[in-house]
Amino acid sequence: MAVRQLSKDVFSVGAIDWDRQIFDELIPLPDGTSYNAYLLRGRVKTVLIDAVDPAKQKELFLNLNELDISSLDFVVANHAEQDHSGAIPAVLERYPMAEVITNPKCKGFLMDLLHIPEEKFIEVHDGEELDLGGMTLKFIYTPWVHWPETMSTYLQEEKILFSCDFFGSHRAASNLYVEDECKVLQDAKRYYAEIMMPFRQQIKKNLEKLSLLAIDKIAPSHGPVYDRPSLIIDAYRDWVSDSVNKKVVIAYVSMHGSTQRIVDVLTSNLIKKGMTVVPVNLSVSDVGQFAMELVDAGALVFASPYVLAGMHPAVVYAAYLTNALRPKAKVVASVFSYGWGGRGAEQLRNMLSSLRAEFFEPVLIRGNMLDKDAGLLGDIVDRMGGLLSHV
Ligand code: FEO
């Protein structure tokens, strides 16, 4: 991978991971990812902001070689997760004089996770500054994007914010800056949905804090750099806001077509009410796509056959994720297709205890739905239409 230059003394030296397909053994990466690291050459001090995943440390070192970096004063660790910090021990081995700058919480994580000795750290507190000689770094705590210790680093003279995961997107691309805004926004929304959505109240505070800064560029640690920061800041403001869209996400699985029929009827009737409807067939969709649809949905529907006396396991998984991600939907409905019985309805309600939404009474339909049963769905459609008519 080539070194890319943001300005005279600021370089992108991280690695692109074109082939990575899954993160945390959970999140699909349809577009690969990158682990961005930045090298800043001040008149007096040289700093590396974040490192890379250990699997890519060779590329980081090749890039540092290309810039003839024979000595390094500091490594700023904005975040302790190993896709950014994992190569720090190797960096310290190669540059034994380098010290790690981070906040106390992140320091504790790095000591636990990577066994970096305590004497290698310099702790910084929120708002503290560091003079590199003609370049001033300001450390700004931006926690819970998705770990509690994450901070951002702001290069005051050039108004560049190094935000780590915050504002990032999983996309492997050779361009340094955002080229296709729509694609990057989709990737960033997916990433926000997968790991940040449960912390939207805290992220609101982070956005308020950053609004006090003049920012010309946002350089995250995944995906391209934003040279039009309002693109991603405005998108985040929308995602973390309390407002929702007139959109219904239907998460479902069908074993023999009965639940599919229910979903088809619901979908067409909700469309007739003027809603945007997103049926998510859980047997073929990925969790990232599902999570992304939850970001701005006003209403959710879970539709499941009863199997083994409860919900289908794919719907159990979707409900578990939904509860963990805590989307801001205002309404939740459920429909179950059954043959003789089961306890899926109670199971679902118990699993969604974190949601602050209005729950409709579950609808249970026996066997393959007859036209007369379709009336049972009418209540869901009418009430959702009414509740979302004002959004
Ligand atoms: Fe990209 Fe939370 O690490």
| DSSP labels, 318-359 | HHHHHHHH----SEEEEEEEESS---HHHHHHHHTTT--SEE
Distance between CA 341 and CA 193 in Å, rounded? 35
Both tokens of residue 362? Answer: 């579950």
The pLDDT assigned to 1 comes to 64
Instruction: Give span(s): CATH 3.60.15.10, the chain.
Output: 4-240
Q: Are strands 358-359 and 331-338 parallel, antiparallel or unpaired?
A: parallel
CA distance 52 to 55: 8
**Phi, psi of 64, deg, nearest 5:** -65, -35
Cα R_g (the chain), whole angstroms: 24
Give 120 Cα–ligand 1 centroid separation in angstroms: 22
Longest dimension (CA), the chain: 79
225 bridge partner residues: 177
Residue 93 neighbours by CB under 8 Å, 6+ apart: none
User: At 167, is the secondary structure helix, strand, or coil?
Assistant: coil
What is the spatial distance between Cα 249 and Cα 325, in angstroms, rounded to a whole number? Answer: 15
Cα distances (Å, whole numbers) of residue 105 to 7, 48, 79, 125, 128: 31, 20, 10, 10, 15
The CA-atom distances, in angstroms, between 155 and each of 54, 152, 232, 286 are: 26, 10, 19, 38
**Dist. CA 346 → ligand 1 center (Å):** 36
Residue 180 CA to chain centroid, in angstroms? 19
* CA 82 to ligand 1: nearest atom: 3
**Residues 110, 120 contacting (CB under 8 angstroms):** no
Say how many Å lie between the CA of residue 164 and the centre of ligand 1: 7
Residue nearest to atom 3 of ligand 1 (CA): 81
Handedness of CA 58, 179, 171, 77 (dihedral sign): positive
Residue nearest to atom 1 of ligand 1 (CA): 165
> What is the DSSP code (8-state) at residue 226?
B
Closest ligand 1 atom, residue 195 Cα? 2
pLDDT at 370: 86
What is the pLDDT tens value at each position of the chain, 391 positions in all? 689 999 999 999 999 999 999 998 888 999 999 999 999 999 999 999 999 999 999 999 999 999 999 999 999 999 999 999 999 999 999 999 999 999 999 999 999 999 999 999 999 999 999 999 999 999 999 999 999 999 999 999 999 999 999 999 999 999 999 999 999 999 999 999 999 999 999 999 999 999 999 999 999 999 999 999 999 999 999 999 999 999 999 999 999 999 999 999 999 999 999 999 999 999 999 999 999 999 999 999 999 999 999 999 999 999 999 999 999 999 999 999 999 988 999 999 999 999 999 999 999 999 998 888 888 899 899 999 888 888 8
Helical axes 287-294 vs 313-325, angle rounded to 10°: 50
Taking the centre of ligand 1 as the mean of its atom positions, its distance from the CA of residue 8, in whole angstroms, is 28
* Ligand 1, atom 2: closest residue by C-alpha: 81
Phi and psi, residue 337, nearest 5°: -105, 125
Query: Are the CB atoms for 270 and 248 separated by under 8 Å?
Result: yes
Ligand 1 atom at minimal distance to the Cα of residue 35: 1
Cα–Cα distance for residue pair 386/246, rounded to 1 Å: 11
Helix axes 344-351, 313-325, angle to 10 degrees: 20
Q: Tell how far the Cα of 84 is from the centroid of ligand 1, in angstroms.
A: 7
β-bridge mates for residue 297, sequence order: 245
Q: Determine the CATH number of domain 4-240.
A: 3.60.15.10
> What residue spans in the chain does CATH classification 3.40.50.360 cover?
249-386
pTM for the whole structure:
0.96
CA of 60 to the centre of ligand 1 (A): 17
State the Cα angle at 160 between 53 and 29, rounded to 5°: 35
Q: How far is CA 349 from the centre of its chain?
A: 26
CATH class of 249-386: alpha beta
| CA 165 – ligand 1 centroid, Å | 5
Q: Distance, CA 245 to ligand 1 centroid (Å)?
A: 28
Q: Which amino acids bring their CB within 6 angstroms of ligand 1?
A: 79, 81, 83-84, 146-147, 165, 221-222
Candidates 104, 115, 130; CA nearest to 49 is: 130
